[in-house]
Structure 1
């Protein structure tokens, strides 16, 4: 199998990397964190590069590209630990593009492509943990359409987004709805997250909503799997930079008159970090390649990828902090921010233990070894 990227994908990578290097410096990121963790101007710059339109169909003003192109973009954004939730854009685009009716697509997909509208998932409930089929939100049909009553937690940039994709119970099954933030009955309470990004509590009280699909669980699973693949690629970019910065530190830091990079024990630990990075990279490719597979196969593949990525993120982050010594946990040193980002990513879209349970629940007696 050919894992080389096309010329167009390499050009896309270079364009995003140049923006990260020049337009999203560590100093700018610190300013955004201090201001709340989301910058509409920075998201607008991503949209100007065409990144919000990347996976939107051409018929709706997008570029009509696929999962591999999105993976390339997210990996480069990970190198700069970019806070703006582009992964949510790809997740929302996947759900709307495959499940929404023509009217909703015509209204929202062009706005998403242009960066005018930020649409995010609002699926997390306190009792659900990471299970998508646990949903207490209620939808009721009205003369004007539908009304939702729900409380959703840790909604990415929830108090800044323009609309939410919200799963809710309708007629004994989970359906997926779109709710505008400016609608009546919508209340948000924003807060900063551990990695510096922004989240919010979303409260809906008989809020008017548009029905995306009555097959809400399938649509939600697709959106979440798209988000997992994006998070895996983003994590690879973060880990790649973490390994590079740690290696630079070991080459510069001296003890007994020599660089500590010459100490055999530390060289072995760096080799282990590099190995975990490459394991994660291969599983990130696997995750993106499987997004087009049938739903059951896709879900199993994304769970496997998240397990490996979770293990790699924890190992690389912890080793980087330990090898950096006391400076590794200071706010002024970028490694501490890499570590916080990797720690939060490990728990995003389901932590390693949750996905390990998903993998094990689908194992057969042979576990696929002798089949």
Structure 2
């Protein structure tokens, strides 16, 4: 098998997992290229804020040599959490200690920028949409891109998310709709434009649910708040009601009707947003999702174990990335490294996925968080 001293490694996907893997590989002197379908790093919104945990995401950043830089950019105050009822009454309030650093928040775009800036120039190749992974079982692998180009490599790492193209080389599994959907609303310059909502949400997050519907509001950097309207609806509910995602007034009217029993203050979280709503139906891979080892191909993050968005996704992706990169640095061959990585990653991801199977429904629950018995303010 190919020696890890000079393997040709290609990572597909320039998200936190793929970039973390590339960074740690380069720290160990291993060449790698990253290929992403976006036209560039600023081609689209990178999403909301992330909490990186001390026992997984931060471990990866330490191995990447970026932990101190992360703490300089992160928002520890973002660990504040409020649980509200539909009237807006605070049922539970967690305020982090001044030195609490277990899971500080950082905006996705800021984290991505930190990782991109840490890579050698030319590592990331933009505008590269992967169409297929081909080649003999014993390698090398051929990557076929939408622009007609091909690339031969000894290892292709699928870090290409929920609709992974690389996954098809290992598994026929496809994500399934969980029955729960998010509708994302943005609020800009909240201190001056939406002061009441800024006060309601605080410096971290605020959640409320009535068993059938819910709201999750989260402070981002730059005086920005994102609100996720959570509903148990068909995945295509907007089209089924004769609307499009650009019909803001029509969607808003439907939401206000569905939340008609909530207080006026809480309803402003779905009606006073700046701009369009963003439709985000929640999908997850079947549980368990595993595959038989095949030389030259492996997966990490959502490509390997897409789960409901309950605070584990990016942390697991970065831990996967860290363990795979270290395995490649420490084993004599690529195949030995990938086998060692998969022996650890697959059981861990299956265990976590089983624990979260069906947990999208918990987003609508009226129960308080598990840490509700901890110190309260």
TM-score range, shorter chain: under 0.3
Q: TM-score when scaled to structure 2?
A: 0.27
Higher relative contact order (CA 8 A, sep 6+): 2
Structure number having the greater strand percentage = 2
Q: TM-score when scaled to structure 1?
A: 0.27
